Structure 1
Amino acid sequence: MEKIRQLPKRYVITAIVALLILLIYFVGAFYFKSHFLPRSYAGPVEISQMTPQQATETVEQNLESKTLIFNENENNIGYIEMNQIGMSAEVDELMGQAIQNQNGWSWPIAFFNGDKVVNIQDQIQIDENIVAGLVPSLGIKNEEREPTVDAQLVKNANGEISVAEETYGNQVTSDSLAQAIVQSVGTGAGQLNIEDAYVKPTELTESESLIQRADIIEQMKSTSITLEFDGNSVTIPQGQINAWIYLDEDNNPQVDQEAVEEYILSLNEQYAGLFLPRNFNSTYQGEVQVQPGTYGWFIDRYDEAELIVQDIHNGAQVTREPVIGGSGYGMGDYVGEDYVEVDIAYQMMFIYRDGQLVLDTPIVSGIIGAETVPGAYQVWNMEQDTNLVGYNTITEQDYVQPVSYWIAFDDQAQGIHDASWQSSFGGNAYQTAGSLGCINTPPGMMGQVFELVEYGMPVIIF
Structure 2
Amino acid sequence: MVKEFLDKLKKNKLIGNIVIMLSSILLIYLIISIYFINHFFFNTEVNGVNLSLKNYKEANEILESYMNNYSVQIIGRDGRSEDINGRDIKLTYKDKNIINDIKKDQSSILWIASLFGEKDYYVDGLVNLNEESLTKIVDEMDIINKGIVEPVDVSFKYNNGIYEIESEVYGNKINKDKLITILIESIKHGERIVDLEKSLCYENPKYISNSDKTIETRDLLNKYVSTKITYLFAEKKEELNGDIINNWLKVDEDLNVVIDEKALEEYISKLSKSYNTVGITRKFNTSTGKIVDVNGGYYGWKINSVAEEKMLIENIKLGANLEKEPIYSQKGLYREENDIGNTYVEINITRQYLWFYKDGKVIAEGSIVTGDQRKGYSTTLGTYMINYKQRDAVLRGQGYESKVSYWMPFNGNIGIHDASWRYSFGNNIYENNGTHGCVNSPLSLAKKIYENIDAGTPVICYKE
TM-score, normalised with respect to structure 1: 0.49
Question: What TM-score do the two structures reach when normalised by structure 2?
Answer: 0.49
Max Rg structure:
2
